[in-house]
Amino acid sequence: MSPRARALGVAGLCLLIAVVAGLAVDSRLDRHWILRGLTALLAVCCAALLLTDQTRRLRQIVTGVGLGMFGLIIPVSQTIWSKPPEIDFALQVATDAKNAAQKDARSTVSVADVKAAAEARGGAVGSLPTEKTPRVRGADAYPLIVRAKRDQGRPWACLSFPHGLDARVRPC
């Protein structure tokens, strides 16, 4: 196979991996599109280096490592790390709260819906009061702090409904 065809094939494979990894994450999460775009661009740049110079062995090694990092390892690891347990819990709470609002024929999700959904799943809304910070934060207005375990402080996730029934979940 010619070096040009090999480089184009690798560039296409890197773009395919980047797109599939980006779409594998729930749409309610912050997908880090800017970082994903930059890594895809760097992978394509490494593939373009395959087109230019095939004579130096060191350049081929650096290009191969760059393709492996930017075309496979970073997109896959971003996808795996995007849903830790507290984010999964917040997504489940968001779904339950949305279903409760739709059941009551409302076009917005209330704070009470989120609190009821979190408590039904064994979690809580708001930061855990401690000696250092006795005031509970994130329990009365969006973005709400959602904790997967009632008696555990961190880790937690922030949940908001900026457009009625459309949830946004992000790490706090």
Give the pLDDT confidence of 89-104 residue by residue, as tens digits: 888 999 999 999 898 8
Which residues lie across from 29 on neighbouring strands?
169
Please list, in sequence order, all residues whose beta carbon lies within 8 angstroms of the beta carbon of residue 64, skipping any fewer than 6 positions away: none
pLDDT in tens, 1-42: 676 777 778 778 877 887 787 777 766 666 567 777 788 788
User: Dihedral sign, CA of 135, 82, 22, 165?
Assistant: negative
3-state helix vs strand vs coil in the chain, percent to 5: 55, 10, 35
Average pLDDT over residues 124-149: 81
pTM: 0.64
- Judge if 147 and 105 occupy the same domain: yes
Domain that holds residue 136: 85-171
Look at the chain and report how many structural domains it folds into: 2
Is the same domain home to 101 and 60? no
Q: Which domain-ending residue is among 81, 113, 138?
A: 81
Give me the phi and psi of 102, to 5 degrees please.
-70, -35
